[in-house]
Amino acid sequence: MDQPLQLYVKTWCPWCVRAKAWLDAKGYHYEEIDVEADRDAYETMIRLSGQRLTPTLVVGDQILADFGPEALEPFLTRNGITP
């Protein structure tokens, strides 16, 4: 799968910090979207994921919402997403 990764975050969120660190360490490139700084992005995240919690990872039509870092690898592997 060769689609951009969009990571919706709140900067103070510890799960967001850990998710970014994991993605960085594994060499993934992603667009970081701060939903606190951009209200429209927050509304988009809610519309896409059906919830208000971060982090939320969007890749095409695949969404991983309100996750801990341990959920990243299985999600990415299952969807054929590589760095």
Reported as a single tens digit per residue, the pLDDT across 51-77 is 999 999 999 999 999 998 899 999 999
pLDDT at site 44: 97
Given strand 30-34, what is the order of strands in its sheet?
Answer: 30-34, 5-9, 56-59, 62-65
pLDDT at site 6: 97
Look at residue 83 and tell me if it is in a domain. no
Query: E strands along the chain, which residues?
Result: 5-9, 30-34, 56-59, 62-65
Range of the structural domain that residue 31 is part of: 5-78
DSSP state of 21: H
CATH number at 73 reads 3.40.30.10
pLDDT at site 2: 66
Please state, as a whole number, how many other Cβ atoms lie within 10 Å of the Cβ of residue 14. Answer: 9
What's the domain count of the chain? 1
Reported as a single tens digit per residue, the pLDDT across 20-42 is 999 999 999 999 999 999 999 99
